[in-house]
Amino acid sequence: MAQVLEFKLPDLGEGLTEAEIVRWLVEVGDVVAIDQPVVEVETAKAMVEVPCPYGGVVTARFGEEGTELPVGAPLLTVAVGAPEGASGSAASPSSSSSSPSSSGKGSGSGAESSGGSGNVLVGYGTGAPAARRRRIRPDRLDRAVAEAPVSGAPVVEAQVVEAPVAEVLVAEAPVSDGPVPVVSPLVRRLARQHDIDLRRLAGSGPDGLILRADVDRAIRTAEETAAATARAAQAPARSRAKPSTPSAPVAASPNGVAAAGAERIPLRGVRGAVADKLSRSRTEIPDATCWVDADATELMAVRAAMNAATGPSAGPKVSVLALLARICTAALARFPELNATVDTEAREIVRLPGVHLGFAAQTERGLVVPVVRDAHTRNAESIGAEIARLTELARTGKLSPAQLTGGTFTLNNYGVFGVDGSTPIINHPEAAMLGVGRIMPKPWVHQGELAVRQVVQLSLTFDHRVCDGGTAGGFLRYVADCVEQPAVLLRTL
């Protein structure tokens, strides 16, 4: 007898509460194996392929591509074959009316016997080893489900429910007095916030399911109608006051609705996470910025000599970013005040023992900050190799949430965009960020004579709560000295 299990969006870790469906990897009717990826979702941290802990046939999917789902919302349902030896004890239609306590125990044992994976992602999966079970042929799925009695209880995660196909599929059309065909709580909340009556909407999803796109379309229509009404109401007044002046478009109505034709771009995914973090940084952190120009000619010469080495001293190519990162770790060892965070509730400055160095990387999905763990224990070659590895993962969208969090100091090389300087926003909850502009030939006084040298502008934005300007200036001056005279680093090697 077929058993239909509901798989919910798991806890993806790092405090994430929702994810957007980017691409479905399976269709309804497909046969999936245990731990097979079934959907690709985008969180505020990274793109993640979500594997299903059950093996069987997909009977339903919840949510279209582009839909945001909260953690715990249904993703799909899977029909699996009954475990061996379960046929003799299969529940009859009358058994579905058993007491809650007995049904709860049965669901627990059913979850164990139905089989599932363990350590797939944070927050879901069964701890028990997978039990042996019959393989179910796809062509027998419909008959197996049809023969199973219908239970009045809703489908719950990892709970065996006797053929609840009618429960997990929405009705063919919304009924005025019946339930509204909406799966996502986010869609309901969005409609409630904009006073949209879901009973008046015709869903564009399967079987009339109302999607977020349907609600967004209704919101845009309401906004355009409101804007048109506002223009029509204001036109007579303008014509009486200035008959010869053509009416201008309404920029915004009193309730903040933008003018007709304005494009609305949702702040979600990576862009939403960046917006939240930068806003929080500006709100909570009293930052200040200092900067200095440095002659990077000697640093560039040292890098060229490293990369040109042959024989036993040869090694992987070292990037400028790797050398600057190594300089940062040396500077933080001298000025540990900047490798810190502020505990606002306890009103304490927390100085951190290790340096986890973040570096800003621009990708097609937006700005991300991968973190080099234990950078203070690495040399320039090791840091460079880790930066290259994380950069490649960032470009392909395969960074895990753990690789994007936990930084204690950030290095921002905005010089790759062809700019000289910037006042970067601190990556909350860190206490400082070093910005590096482009390295380019400029006139420079060198050894008492005017010469063309490779000059770079360095800027340090710091949290004024953790230190004063003297400490920040000392840190930045030490970094500049190392850039101008790399031999200074020999003291700390």
d(CA 493, CA 487): 10
Out of 57-66, 202-211, 223-232, 250-259, give the one with best mean pLDDT: 57-66
Core vs surface per residue 16-49: b (16+ CB within 10 A) or e: bebbbbbebebeeeebbebbbebbbbbbbbbbbe
Q: Which of 343, 344, 369 is nearest to 357 (CA)?
A: 369
Using one digit for the tens of pLDDT, what is the confidence trace for 50-88? 889 888 999 999 988 888 888 889 999 998 875 444 444
Using one digit for the tens of pLDDT, what is the confidence trace for 123-165? 344 444 444 444 444 454 454 444 444 433 344 444 433 333 3
Around Cβ 89, how many Cβ atoms within 10 Å? 9
Look at the alpha carbons of 348, 349, 350, 356 in this order and tell me if their dihedral is positive or negative.
positive
Around Cβ 102, how many Cβ atoms within 10 Å? 10
Give the per-residue pLDDT at 185: 59
Q: Which of 194, 356, 428, 464 is catalytic?
A: 464
Give the chain's mean pLDDT.
Answer: 77
Task: Categorize the per-residue pLDDT at 179 as very low, low, confident or very high, splitting at 50, 70 and 90.
Answer: low
36-45, 117-126, 245-254: which range is least confident on average?
117-126
Give the per-residue pLDDT at 234: 65
Q: Which two tokens stand for residue 263?
A: 């494009």
d(CA 275, CA 420): 24
The verdict on whether 464 is a catalytic residue reads yes
* Element (DSSP H or E) covering residue 106: helix 100-114
Please tell me the total number of residues recorded for the chain in this structure: 493
Residues 6+ away with beta carbon under 8 Å from 212: 66, 67, 68, 184, 186, 187, 190
